Every structure is written in structure tokens, then in C-alpha cells.
Amino acid sequence: MSRRDEIIGKIAEVPALPASSINAIALVQSKDVELTELTKFLEHEPGPAANVLKLVNSASYNLGQPVGTIKDAVIRLGRKQVMNIILSELVGPVTKPAVRGYDLPPNDLWQHSIVVTIGAQIIAARQHSNSPDYYSVAGLLHDVGKIVLGTFVEVDAEPMIEIAKNERRPFNEVEEQVLGIDHAEAGAILLENWKFPQEIINAVRWHHKPEESPYEATRYVHVADSISLMTGIGVGVEGLQYSPSEEAVKAVNLSVEETEKVTFNMLIGLQEAKRLFGM
């Protein structure tokens, strides 16, 4: 059996997401989810509900009377903000534990995933994108393959980094050469097993090679991921050993100054998320 087949076999053994996470993903994909539906969902999810209330009563939102009910909080915060909290709380934690083989301490990959999601949302908004918001879930899970490889397959990334550094090649290319599969494909196979929609699987599969994907979401995740890796947020042992895609970067068409503004807003967004989730 090849290393690749062995790894794919192991991916099949990864336990499925809890039902509440799957419901949250379904909820977010339905394009015109009503505020009442969100409220109903939150009434059964104490974790995200608490954070929705915490945010609405924080200094940046609360203008007077404290908000005590979920219904009022949802109305005040709006759909997008509430869905972000639900996703970050229910899907994000998949990336919370340390990833040993990739030398990521606890919470590092989670922070990186959140900052990439924020970045993808900012870039999509600048593009006036009308496509459904697949990039948020894809952003949160784009590196889930590192958990698959680092934790479940117990791959040691160290020797692969040596090769990548010595030959000045992107780390994902070396993963593919050595293991027969890179972390992007490993993540995509996992999400396929978990019955995720094609657009999300695709964005995860091609987040280092966005020119292979027909979906805009992939480009947004790629550019946000590149910025986050470059600035050093949630980088593993492989450091900045990745190549940005010229096609994707040109497609989102950000000037030097705009890129720096996006980067700035990604950091501000991360700081808010850290406050909200008590990190």
C-alpha cells in the first residue's frame, strides 16, 4: 500500500463533526436565513448564544440598555455577525488543539483560521462578491488537513521542511512529493467524507493553487491565507515557505496600500475575536 493510500485510509477513521456543527454549516449556506431561524438555532446552542450576548453588550455595540434576550441581540448584531460567531464557535474549535507534527501550539491554527476567514470576508466585500459565503467555512477549515496529517497520521513535517528550504520550493509541493498527498488535499478528502458542499471542499483543496479552482471563494481564501502566513500569524515550522498565486492576487486586484489596509483590518478583527472568545 502506498503512503498516500495509507493516509487516505486513516482519514476515513477521523470522527465526524458533531451534529450541531453540521447544522450550523447548513444554516450558513442557506442564503436567506431568517433572523428568527438564527434565534431559534441559538436557543439550543448555549456556547454561541453566550458569545452573541457578550458581543452585543460589549463597548463597541452597546449604546444604552443592556441586551438580555437572544432575539434582541440577533436583531442588533445582524445576520452576518451572528453567523460568524456561530461558525467560529462550532466549527472553529476543530482547529484548536496543538498540531504536533507541524509544531503548532494549541490555539495557533485556530487563530490563523479565524484571521484567514476575516481576511477572506474583507476581500470578498471589496470585490462586491455576490457569490454565497462559502469562503467563511472554507477559511475556518482550510488547514484542517494539517490536523489530519499532523495528529491522525502523525507525520513529522521537519524533514520535508529541510527539503523545501534547501530547494526553495513551496512546502505543499514537498508534502505531495514525500507523502503522495499535501495537507490541502488531505483536508479536502476529510470534508468530502463529512459531506461538505463542493464549493467549500474545492476552496480547501486548492487553497495553495487557486488557479485550479473555478470558484471565487478559493481565491479569497488563498489571498487571505498568503497574507496571514506572510505576517506570521499561525505559521507552523514551515514558516513562509509558500508561493502566492499571481493569478489570484491579480484577480483580487489590491494595490500595495489596499493590501496593507486589508492586513491591518485582519489584525483588528483577530484582536476582537480573541477578546470575544477569551483567548
Partner 1 sequence: MQYIIGISDMKVTSGPEDVLVTYSLGSCVGVTVYDPVRKIGGMIHCMLPLSRIDALKAKDNPYMFTDTGTTSLLKTIYDMGSLKKDLVVKVAGAASLLDENRLFKIGERNHTVLRKVLWINGIMIAGEDTGGSIARTMYLHMADGRTTIKSCGKESEL
Q: Kindly give the residue spans of alpha helices, DSSP state H, lying in 151-245.
A: 158-167, 171-179, 183-193, 198-205, 216-231
Interface with partner 1 includes 246 (CB under 8 A)? yes
CA angle 105-111-114, nearest 5°?
150
Q: Are 222 and 212 in contact (CB under 8 A)?
A: no
Interface with partner 1 includes 5 (CB under 8 A)? no
Q: Are 180 and 4 in contact (CB under 8 A)?
A: yes
Environment class of residue 29 by beta-carbon count within 10 Å: exposed (0-12), middle (13-18) or buried (19+)? middle
Select from 45-53, 76-84, 135-143, 231-239 the region that touches partner 1 (CB under 8 A). 231-239
- Pairwise CA distance, residues 73 & 53, whole Å: 6
Minimum Å gap between C-beta 151 and partner 1 is: 20
Looking at 93, 132, 197, 244, which residue binds partner 1 (CB under 8 A)?
244
**Binding flags for partner 1, 127-166, as an x/- string (CB under 8 A):** ----------------------------------x---x-
Looking at 57, 231, 275, 276, which residue binds partner 1 (CB under 8 A)?
231
Interface with partner 1 includes 233 (CB under 8 A)? yes
Query: How far is Cα of residue 13 from the mean position of the Cα atoms in its chain?
Result: 22
Q: Around Cβ 125, how many Cβ atoms within 10 Å?
A: 11
Select from 44-52, 139-147, 178-186, 248-256 the region that touches partner 1 (CB under 8 A). 248-256
Minimum Å gap between C-beta 263 and partner 1 is: 6
Interface with partner 1 includes 249 (CB under 8 A)? yes
Q: What are phi and psi of 99, to 5 degrees?
A: -110, 100
CA angle 29-33-37, nearest 5°?
120
Contacting partner 1 within 168-227 (CB under 8 A): 168-170, 226-227
Minimum Å gap between C-beta 6 and partner 1 is: 27
Minimum Å gap between C-beta 227 and partner 1 is: 7
- Pairwise CA distance, residues 223 & 8, whole Å: 28
Interface with partner 1 includes 241 (CB under 8 A)? yes
Residue ranges binding partner 1 (CB under 8 A): 161, 165, 168-170, 226-227, 229-233, 235, 237, 239-244, 246, 249-250, 256-257, 259-261, 263-264, 267-268
